[in-house]
Chain A
Amino acid sequence: MPFVPHTEDDIREMLATLGAASIEALFDEIPAELRCGALDLPPALKEMAVARLMHARAGQNRPLLCFAGAGAYEHHIPAAVWAVVSRGEFYSAYTPYQAEASQGTLQVLYEYQSMMASLTAMDVSNASLYDGATSLAEAVLMAVRTNRKSHSRRILMPKTVHPFYRRVVETIVGSQALEPIELPYDAKIGRIDPASLELHSGTDIAALVIPQVNFFGILEAVDELTDWASANGAVAIALVNPIALALLKPPGEWGKSGADIACGEGQPLGIPLSGGGPYFGFLCCRKAHLHQLPGRLVGRTVDVDGKPGFTLTLQAREQHIRRGRATSNICTNQGLMVTAATIYMALLGPEGLRRIALQSHQNTLRLMDGLAAIDGVARVFSGPFFHEAVFRTQRPAREIMDGLSERGILGGYPLTRDYPELGEAILVCATETRTQEDIGAYVCEMASLVSHG
């Protein structure tokens, strides 16, 4: 049986040491009526057979040319990233609670924290959370804890925030009497309607979430929004894409005094699409909020000989000490994913990342130009966009998606369910991995689909 090394001799000797007649005897404290009999499970497979099975299953998945974004992005992942991350010393290491035996992981996490703090222009970053949506939920909870001027638990949540993120936040904060208030968007430009924000001026708002870029790919007026939050005593939470930050102004520099908290999805940084997970969420903040930051934190210090080293720190905030009064119930950070992201960022560097952001942006611009030139396809929003955009067709979005799929293309994400007011609209994305031929093929297929409608 797999992975259990014991021989008959081993068993005999061990039972003799215990003075037990059989292994079954070791279960004698469990009431007999609780014992289950044989379970209806598929019979055990040797490695050769399970490999065959999984190759077949992988083969059942159809590799479509990816033009979808909406929270998960296909970027090229350098081979070195997973070659190093897959090393057993990273892969099978535990959480670094025994610091002296985990300096490798701890230093990687410290470097990760440093890179994220710089990317977002914040003072500190934690060592990651589960994914972008949960990091937004934690940011919202953190904002309420840290905003001592506010007594309400009202959060302004723009409709331009990813709909999946909004529903996760509802699930997670719903039981803590927080009140998310939806902010509508300007249907022409595609970003938060400033008039809707004015409605809340002078009222008690705990936090304002500011996405950049927003779900539609449209650039928000981040300076005005951040200043509004500051003027109204609300914590400004930036929800950002890490690759975009190589090109766009980081949250720490928004408005007059910068955002307070920055969070988002780290998947673009060297994490494969993998059907939706595991990814990782990042959470960064200003120094003033450090003690309300959930999740793990790695600090640099010295050992008894004065040698520099790293350790988990400020753990008193966490579940294993604070228990019911913890900042969060989080017990994990996405250690392996963060290790990959750190190596990815080290390999790309500031210029490499900037060029990927720029190329992704330019590819999306070209794609949209090509699509908008087709009779029967139109841009939906007029605002400047970055690396994702929304178009509308006369044919139902469902039919477009099916048609493209038959031609080997994942056409994007149809918005008909989450934003029915936009009509037959599709959110499309072209990263640096899409060549000119890919883009040309998409435009060509679209033209033929639309003309046959």
Chain B
Amino acid sequence: MSRLPDDLKYAKTHEWAKPEEDGNVRVGISDYAQEQLGDVVYVELPDVGRRVKAGEACAVVESVKAASDIYSPVSGEIVEVNGALSDAPEAINQNAYAAWLFCVKADDLSELNTLLDAEAYKAGAETD
């Protein structure tokens, strides 16, 4: 069964979100998502400084057989992206929770409350 850390929030669209002290939210994709995708070959990340809305597609994770849109779980400004992924996209397959994609300075942290906890996400993913 895929790994599912308890301290993270999850979106139905398979992103994980980790709120940090400075009000930023770090975002990646779940272990289940990387399993479904297969070997990741390329990641397209948003520009730093871009403003995004909750639910807006702002990145793409590409495998040999699929290209998945990644949706920002919160509204805000992209303050950091994981440049290491351009040389080593396979990091996402190796550890989906360490290989974060981007970091959003959230406008309104309460948006995180609309996301799922590990149990609810697991239940949703299993019926997929």
Say if the two chains contact directly (CB < 8 Å).
yes
By a beta-carbon cutoff of 8 Å, the part of chain A in contact with chain B is: 148, 291, 314-317, 321-322, 325
Q: Are B65 and A325 in contact (CB under 8 A)?
A: no
Q: Are A316 and B47 in contact (CB under 8 A)?
A: no
| Cα separation A322 to B68 with both chains bound (whole Å) | 8
- Going nearest first, the 3 A-B pairs with the smallest beta carbon separation are A316-B67, A316-B62, A322-B67
B64 contacts partner chain A, Cβ-Cβ < 8 Å: yes
B32 contacts partner chain A, Cβ-Cβ < 8 Å: no
Chain A residues whose C-beta falls within 8 Å of the C-beta of B64 in the assembled complex:
315-316
Q: Are A148 and B42 in contact (CB under 8 A)?
A: no
Q: Are A321 and B66 in contact (CB under 8 A)?
A: yes
Q: Which residue of A lies closest to B50 (CB)?
A: A148
B44 contacts partner chain A, Cβ-Cβ < 8 Å: yes
Q: Which residue of A lies closest to B67 (CB)?
A: A316
How many A-B contacts at CB < 8 Å in the complex?
Answer: 24
Q: Are B67 and A148 in contact (CB under 8 A)?
A: no
User: Can you pick out 18 interface pairs between chain A and chain B where the beta carbons lie within 8 Å of each other?
Assistant: A148-B47, A291-B42, A291-B62, A314-B41, A314-B42, A314-B62, A315-B64, A316-B41, A316-B42, A316-B63, A316-B64, A316-B66, A316-B67, A317-B62, A317-B67, A321-B65, A321-B67, A322-B67
Secondary structure at chain B's binding surface: helix, strand, loop or mixed?
strand
Q: Are A325 and B69 in contact (CB under 8 A)?
A: yes
| Cα separation A96 to B41 with both chains bound (whole Å) | 21
| Cα separation A316 to B43 with both chains bound (whole Å) | 12
| Cα separation A415 to B62 with both chains bound (whole Å) | 48
Chain A residues whose C-beta falls within 8 Å of the C-beta of B62 in the assembled complex:
291, 314, 316-317
Chain B residues whose C-beta falls within 8 Å of the C-beta of A316 in the assembled complex:
41-42, 62-67
How many of B's residues come within 8 Å of A, CB to CB? 11
Minimum Cβ distance to chain B for residue A233 (Å): 13
Interface set, chain B 28-73, CB cutoff 8 A to A: 41-42, 44, 47, 62-67, 69
Chain A residues whose C-beta falls within 8 Å of the C-beta of B44 in the assembled complex:
291
Minimum Cβ distance to chain B for residue A122 (Å): 19
Q: Are A325 and B47 in contact (CB under 8 A)?
A: no
Minimum Cβ distance to chain A for residue B69 (Å): 7
Minimum Cβ distance to chain A for residue B80 (Å): 17
Chain B residues whose C-beta falls within 8 Å of the C-beta of A317 in the assembled complex:
62, 67
Chain B residues whose C-beta falls within 8 Å of the C-beta of A291 in the assembled complex:
42, 44, 62
| Cα separation A315 to B66 with both chains bound (whole Å) | 8
| Cα separation A230 to B47 with both chains bound (whole Å) | 19
Minimum Cβ distance to chain B for residue A70 (Å): 39
Known: A315-B64, A316-B42. 12 other contacts (CB 8 A): A148-B47, A291-B62, A314-B41, A314-B42, A316-B63, A316-B64, A316-B66, A316-B67, A321-B65, A321-B67, A325-B67, A325-B69
Minimum Cβ distance to chain B for residue A91 (Å): 30
Minimum Cβ distance to chain A for residue B105 (Å): 19
| Cα separation A317 to B62 with both chains bound (whole Å) | 8
Minimum Cβ distance to chain A for residue B54 (Å): 20
Chain B residues whose C-beta falls within 8 Å of the C-beta of A315 in the assembled complex:
64
| Cα separation A48 to B11 with both chains bound (whole Å) | 67
Chain B residues whose C-beta falls within 8 Å of the C-beta of A325 in the assembled complex:
67, 69
Interface centre among B47, B63, B64, B67 (most CB of A within 10 A): B67
Residue-wise interface mask of B (70-99) relative to A, using a CB-CB cutoff of 8 A (1 in contact, 0 not): 000000000000000000000000000000
Minimum Cβ distance to chain B for residue A315 (Å): 7
| Cα separation A305 to B62 with both chains bound (whole Å) | 26
| Cα separation A315 to B44 with both chains bound (whole Å) | 15
| Cα separation A315 to B69 with both chains bound (whole Å) | 15
Q: Which residue of B lies closest to A292 (CB)?
A: B44
| Cα separation A291 to B65 with both chains bound (whole Å) | 15
Q: Which residue of B lies closest to A149 (CB)?
A: B47
Minimum Cβ distance to chain A for residue B115 (Å): 24
| Cα separation A325 to B65 with both chains bound (whole Å) | 15
Chain A residues whose C-beta falls within 8 Å of the C-beta of B47 in the assembled complex:
148
| Cα separation A322 to B63 with both chains bound (whole Å) | 11
